[in-house]
């Protein structure tokens, strides 16, 4: 079915043009039905959204090679700022792991916020999630003096905190022997009194932030 602009023509009697008018209204109902409950639907949800599809404002093709600012977590080639008007949009971006589409907000003052990242949050004992603005937060447990990796590699590592999981008051994280890096770390839990030896059986919690 092809939408026909200029209908009615004004030069053809309506008893001839009405079929084209009917076809256009059917076409409008069909097109509106994409992501919406159709006009012809008789329920109270007539006109409601059923889904929202965004056409990416920028891609790795239109803004090669990465279409991505690693520092701001913001895509290149975004919509121009409209004073006093907020804009929600999607863009193709490439980060350290993959190329995907992300969701973004741009304020009426031109402030930009990344709402998503190129991965799904992992809700587990050792997991990770993203925060508005593009930061990645990761957590979990690991064993003393054994190299471990974050649940997901960072593009850039910022900071980490380690807390010993022990009933002994004589243990503490006293040395980070390798890392932390974007990939992981090796943390030594040692006796804080006496010999100061490494406790190879100790477990610790970690919390890490990066992008």
Q: Are residues 136 and 202 in the same domain?
A: yes
Residues 112 and 180 in one domain: no
Domain boundary among 51, 66, 87: 51
Q: Which range among 35-44, 69-78, 148-157, 165-174 has the greatest average pLDDT?
A: 148-157
Q: Are residues 185 and 151 in the same domain?
A: yes
Residue whose token pair is 């059917």: 26
Q: Where in the sequence is the domain holding 44, given as residue range(s)?
A: 1-51
pLDDT value at 151 more than 90: yes
110 and 76 fall within a common domain: yes
Q: For residue 203, give the nearest of 179, 178, 168 by alpha carbon.
A: 168
- Which residues on neighbouring strands pair with residue 187, listed in sequence order? 176
How many domains is the chain partitioned into structurally? Answer: 3
Task: Note whether 96 and 168 are same-domain residues.
Answer: no
Residues 193, 144, single domain; the answer is: yes
- Alpha carbon distance 178, 50 (integer Å): 50
pLDDT-derived band at 3 (thresholds 50, 70, 90) equals low
Closest CA to 126 of 171, 173, 184, 166: 184
Cβ atoms 210, 155 nearer than 8 A: yes
pLDDT at 1: 61
Residue 11 above 90 pLDDT?
no
Asked if residue 85 and residue 144 are part of one domain, the reply reads no
The HSE-up count of residue 170 (CA atoms within 13 Å, CB side) is 8
* 3-state SS assignment for residue 104: strand
Residue 38's Cα: distance from chain center in Å?
30
Q: Mean pLDDT across the stretch 1-19?
A: 73
pLDDT at 40: 86
Do 46 and 61 fall into the same domain? no
Residue 133: give its domain's CATH number: 2.60.40.3940
| Phi, then psi, of 19 in degrees rounded to 5 | -65, -40
pLDDT for residue 194 is more than 70: no
Q: What is the pLDDT of residue 81?
A: 94
pLDDT tens-digit readout, 59-109:
888 887 778 776 666 888 889 999 999 999 999 887 777 888 989 999 999
Residue 115, CA atoms < 13 Å, CB-side half-sphere = 12
pLDDT for 193 equals 67
Share of the chain above pLDDT 90, in %: 42
Cα 58 to Cα 51: distance, rounded to the nearest angstrom:
21
């Amino acid at each position: 079915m092809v939408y026909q602009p200029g209908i009615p023509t004004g030069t053809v009697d309506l008893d001839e043009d009405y079929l084209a008018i009917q076809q256009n209204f059917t076409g409008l109902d069909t097109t509106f039905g994409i992501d919406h409950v159709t006009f012809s639907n008789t329920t109270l949800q007539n006109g409601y959204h059923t889904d929202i599809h965004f056409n990416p404002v920028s891609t790795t093709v239109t803004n090669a090679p990465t279409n991505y600012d690693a520092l701001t977590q913001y895509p290149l080639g975004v919509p121009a700022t409209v004073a006093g008007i907020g804009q929600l949009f999607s863009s193709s971006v490439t980060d350290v792991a993959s190329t995907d589409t992300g969701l973004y907000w741009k304020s009426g003052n031109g402030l930009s916020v990344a709402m998503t990242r190129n991965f799904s949050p992992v809700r587990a004992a050792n997991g990770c999630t993203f925060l508005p603005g593009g930061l990645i937060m990761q957590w979990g447990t690991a064993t003393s003096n054994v190299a471990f990796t974050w649940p997901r590699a960072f593009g850039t590592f910022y900071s980490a905190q380690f807390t010993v999981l022990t009933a002994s008051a004589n243990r503490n994280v006293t040395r980070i022997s390798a890392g932390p890096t974007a990939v992981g770390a090796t943390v030594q839990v040692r006796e804080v009194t006496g010999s100061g030896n490494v406790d190879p059986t100790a477990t610790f919690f970690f919390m890490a932030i990066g992008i």
